[in-house]
Chain A
Amino acid sequence: MTRAARLSPAATAGLLLHAAPLAAQALRGDFSIGPEWLRFESRAVAQPTFGGKASAGLTWAARPGSSTVIAVEPRIGFRALTAEGTPTITELVGDLRASLTATSERTRWWLSAEQRVRAVSDSVPAPVYLDPDRRETWARGGIAIPISGQWLLESSVGAGLVRYGPASWQQLDRTELIGTAKLSHALGPGLLRLTLGAGNASFSGAPFDTRDDGRWALNAEWALRGSPFVQVELGAAWNSSSIETFDYRAMRAAVLVSASVGRSSIQLYSALAAKSYRDTGDTLALVDQETGSFVIAQATSPIASGTFLHLRAEWVRSESTIRSRLYQRVGASAVLGYRWPARRSSP
């Protein structure tokens, strides 16, 4: 059996890439589908919806040399929601990412490119809220260097283009430049990481004035990657815009937990955020920075080899893309997930 034949169930993309003479490859994927109930609420109006959600992803990676890895990771998702008296609302999302990582004795560097696309059906009646159509293209690069033995410094830069579909949202079209510096150090059984980030966003579609935002963020997080898996985080961010309406300060605390319960496991993913605009003027301005709080609780049970049932409950309270207009969403879903294990090959 040829190598390509062994990997053929995975994806056509995988087969094409197998033509390259690579030293080692791995391919894995997952698929999930299930019903979903969501109840949206905004300005004292509530709308329950019922529908389904499906998603699939692949990770293909190869090691052309002993210290270099290239990877391609496509992922797509689809959601359909029906609500009384409204046509079916659909959402199609896709994410394609490619990366190159190289390691040496002391350093690691990486380059990556990513394309994200989302398409939402034309009519999304309030209070139902889904992010509008959008395309994003990103390129990033970074390096990690150990310093003074026990500290690791990671530094990265990136640039991105964000383009919205609906004409009324195109004032949020923008070009972004970003840079981060992170220091990591072991703390107790986990890892502490301090991050300082800075960036700039230039909005090309602003109808009234030139908009240019400067952004800063400070973040501290601690993670324990064991059983249980625990991560906690505290952060603050500042946005200073050439238009005062968009100046804000934000704080956020987040936690991520995954723990075993017998043969099953539970996951909790939650964040509490607060954001305040410095200017109380134009409260109907469109904003690209949403701040919200959410709690997602999930129970995962294996039901067969590679097949899992996820029961999920969620609560979200977030700013919609209109400044200071909050919406709330509660939901529940039962998702059946299948994963096929990594297929590996060597020449």
Chain B
Amino acid sequence: MRLKRIAWSAVTAALVAAAPLGGQAGPPALDSLRARTTAAAQRVTALAEQRERAAAWADEQYRAIAEARRRDPKALRPALRQAQTAADSLARLDRRLDEAVRAADAARQALAAGLQAELERTVAAAERARPPDKATLTARARALSDELQRTRRPVDLPPTDVPAVVVRPTDGPAEIELKADFLADRATQLRSAADVLAGEITRERRRAELQDEVERLVAQTRLFDETDVPPPSVELGAQGTERRPVDTPVPLAPDRGARAPPPAAAGAAPGGTPGGRPEPTDPVSAGDPRTASDRLTRLRADLLRQAAALERQSGEIRRLLRDQP
């Protein structure tokens, strides 16, 4: 299942990178970033397929052990050796796959940064341009923005669209069964998307808890003037996005230690002015550390509901097939 997800992500990333801006060519640096992203994604796909084949071969070797135990004890030792080789090979492939996934992620992030820069340049140029050029530049900015959004997707999910499948009177038994199978497959895919989200939700909750603890510790020590360092401004992204994984760091005073104020904070004193504070955060969203995980939880519940609906529909179609005269 994990392999399918990885391969799906890689294919999506490759498609995103391969079809930028509706076929428009970008600046050379951007093209190179796209090429790098595509290559990294293709490597992930290739390794995922290789690992899938290796896993199938390893399964055969494990089955051979059981077979040897039952029928030919002399063959047990070679079977064990072979199974060990298969397991080692799988472990090696896992490591390579892990590295490739990380490299693909880094390439995707670099592409996103490049797209963001290009988008800003294009928007600025569009603002200055005369009407005929303005339309072209605006269209290009829109395409860049779409590509950026696809590139920056926060969680790699398997496809989550719900198909509309209807059994027609002209459908034969084979076609009806095919449609039932198709719906059941889509339900499985939706459930695997929900699994991906479940892992993401756990990670997000843990991350929020850790950050919450840091904020409270710093707030407590500052309140009693024990370190006088302000709470971290962590919730609002540099451009106003909520809860980005990297964000404004907790300002720690560089020039003083315990009971000392923080010059590093926005609005704080540079040389040791007491009471320095960071820039205001967005407490409406920051007020609830579970905001992001809540959103993911709702999305996951939706996916599971859709999966259940598809399974019901698939079951009804199969019943229809059984009840056919």
| A260 at interface, CB cutoff 8 A | yes
Contact between chains at A256 and B250 (CB < 8 Å): yes
| A160 at interface, CB cutoff 8 A | yes
| A128 at interface, CB cutoff 8 A | no
Known: A149-B113, A227-B210. A180 touches B270 (CB 8 A): yes
Known: A216-B270, A223-B250. A229 touches B256 (CB 8 A): no
Q: Which of B207, B254, B272 contacts A239 (CB 8 A)?
A: B272
Q: A127-146 CB contact bits vs B (8 Å, 1 = yes)?
A: 00001001010101110101
Residues of A58-111 contacting chain B, CB below 8 A: 59-63, 67, 69, 71, 73, 75, 77, 79, 91, 93, 95, 97, 99-101, 103, 105-106, 108, 110
Contact between chains at A217 and B207 (CB < 8 Å): no
Contact between chains at A258 and B210 (CB < 8 Å): yes
Q: Could you tell me the distance in whole angstroms from the C-beta of A313 to the nearest C-beta in chain B?
A: 13
| B193 at interface, CB cutoff 8 A | no
Q: For residue B247, which residues in chain A have a CB less than 8 angstroms away from its CB? A: 191, 223, 225
Contact between chains at A290 and B259 (CB < 8 Å): yes
Known: A144-B279, A225-B247, A290-B259. A197 touches B270 (CB 8 A): yes
Contact between chains at A217 and B255 (CB < 8 Å): yes
Q: B217-242 CB contact bits vs A (8 Å, 1 = yes)?
A: 11111011111000000101011100
Closest to B203 in A: A227
Residues of A112-126 contacting chain B, CB below 8 A: 112, 114, 116, 118
Q: For residue B4, which residues in chain A have a CB less than 8 angstroms away from its CB? A: none
Q: Which of B42-50, B85-93, B172-180, B283-291 contacts A (4 or more CB under 8 A)?
A: B283-291
Residues of A224-242 contacting chain B, CB below 8 A: 224-229, 231, 233-239
| A256–B217 CA distance with the chains assembled, in angstroms | 10
Known: A160-B273, A273-B257, A318-B257. A219 touches B264 (CB 8 A): yes
Q: For residue A71, which residues in chain B have a CB less than 8 angstroms away from its CB? A: 280-281, 283-284
Query: Interface of chain A, helix or strand or loop or mixed?
Result: strand
Closest to B253 in A: A252
Contact between chains at B272 and A317 (CB < 8 Å): no
| A171 at interface, CB cutoff 8 A | no
| A142–B210 CA distance with the chains assembled, in angstroms | 28
| A100–B225 CA distance with the chains assembled, in angstroms | 25
Contact between chains at B269 and A79 (CB < 8 Å): no
Contact between chains at B257 and A252 (CB < 8 Å): yes
Q: For residue B25, which residues in chain A have a CB less than 8 angstroms away from its CB? A: none
| A250 at interface, CB cutoff 8 A | yes
| A296–B219 CA distance with the chains assembled, in angstroms | 13
Q: Which of B220, B227, B266, B277 contacts A182 (CB 8 A)?
A: B266
| A309 at interface, CB cutoff 8 A | no
Known: A258-B211, A298-B217. A224 touches B246 (CB 8 A): yes
| A35 at interface, CB cutoff 8 A | no
| A259 at interface, CB cutoff 8 A | yes
Q: Which of A42-50, A264-272, A277-285 contacts B (4 or more CB under 8 A)?
A: A264-272
Q: Which of A108, A219, A235, A271 contacts B239 (CB 8 A)?
A: A108
Q: B72-113 CB contact bits vs A (8 Å, 1 = yes)?
A: 000000000000000000000000000000000000000001
Q: How extensive is the interface on chain B, given as a class?
A: 35 or more
| A336 at interface, CB cutoff 8 A | no
Contact between chains at B272 and A289 (CB < 8 Å): yes
Q: State how many residues of chain A have any CB contact under 8 Å with chain B.
A: 131
Closest to B117 in A: A149
| A190–B250 CA distance with the chains assembled, in angstroms | 12
Q: A331-343 CB contact bits vs B (8 Å, 1 = yes)?
A: 0000001000110
Known: A25-B284, A75-B223. A142 touches B279 (CB 8 A): yes
Q: For residue B225, which residues in chain A have a CB less than 8 angstroms away from its CB? A: 93, 118, 131
Q: Could you tell me the distance in whole angstroms from the C-beta of A336 to the nearest C-beta in chain B?
A: 13
Contact between chains at A103 and B240 (CB < 8 Å): yes
Contact between chains at B271 and A237 (CB < 8 Å): yes
Closest to B239 in A: A146
Q: For residue A341, which residues in chain B have a CB less than 8 angstroms away from its CB? A: 288, 290
| A27–B289 CA distance with the chains assembled, in angstroms | 12
**Can you give 16 contacting A-B residue pairs, CB < 8 Å?**
A24-B284, A25-B284, A26-B283, A26-B284, A79-B224, A101-B281, A148-B117, A152-B238, A162-B275, A217-B254, A231-B250, A235-B252, A260-B206, A291-B256, A294-B257, A318-B258
Q: 17 other contacts beyond A108-B236, A197-B268, A235-B264, with CB at 8 A cut-off?
A: A26-B283, A26-B285, A79-B224, A99-B280, A101-B236, A146-B120, A158-B267, A197-B271, A198-B270, A219-B264, A250-B255, A254-B253, A293-B257, A296-B227, A298-B213, A316-B259, A318-B258
Interface positions of B (Cβ within 8 A of A):
113-114, 116-118, 120-121, 203, 206-207, 209-211, 213-214, 216-221, 223-227, 234, 236, 238-240, 245-260, 263-277, 279-290
